Amino acid sequence: MESVWNLMAKVSRAFACMGGVLLLLAAILVSIEVVSRKLFTMVYSGSDELAAYLFAVGTTWSLAHVLVTRGHVRIDALYRHLPLRARAVLDIVALLMLGILALAMLDSGFDLTRSNYVEWNRSNTPLRTPLSLPQLPWLFGLILFAASIAAALARSLAALGRGDYHRANQTAGVASQDEEIEGELASLGIAKARAAAPSTPPSREK
């Protein structure tokens, strides 16, 4: 189970990074069109349409990483005051509800993508983009999201069965403020730099 979870973490991180690149590319396209419209008289370029496709794909590619890293937003005013076992049970209930939503999104997304692919429908724009082309990677993001929920649910249930409530909380619980700070420092490389730095005693002036 741990190997599957670690693999899911690596895959979700890779696609989240690629999703960030797509969002950056979408912002660049829109910026170029805005500047071009100010400086030149130009016809429809389609950058806003392409940016919308990039934004949609980049968003779904990031969903799994948000779940794995517990970056999602939850109301925890009462949650933090509950015992660890109660939190673990509520975390599993939350995953089940999120899984139902993800499956509903995946079912609708699959039907939409399949129909557009079979009928080769195109966008009602001058670009006439085949809609299934951006929808296929968008659908893959939803599949990855559903798979990450299944992996988190399996890991949490296994931990709950062993009575390891801390592991269940680390999988699907709400991250504490200290954990969020440590995660931000680790992403910046600050924590690693501190750990790697040699611990030399301060020099004393004579």
Q: What is the pLDDT along the chain (206 residues), one digit of tens a residue?
A: 788 888 999 999 999 999 999 999 999 988 888 887 777 765 556 788 899 999 999 999 999 999 998 887 777 778 888 888 888 888 899 899 999 999 999 999 999 999 999 999 999 888 899 999 999 999 999 999 999 999 999 999 998 888 888 888 888 888 766 666 666 666 666 754 444 444 444 444 43
Spatial distance between the Cα atoms of 157 and 80, rounded to a whole number of angstroms: 20
The token duo for 68 is 């794995």
165-172 and 132-162 helices cross at what angle (nearest 10)? 170
Within 10 A of 101 (CB to CB), how many other CB atoms are there?
Answer: 13
DSSP structural state of residue 80: G
Question: Do 153 and 103 meet the contact criterion of CB atoms below 8 Å apart?
Answer: no
11 Ramachandran zone, left/alpha/beta (phi>0; psi -120 to 50): alpha
What is the pTM (predicted TM-score) of this model?
Answer: 0.81
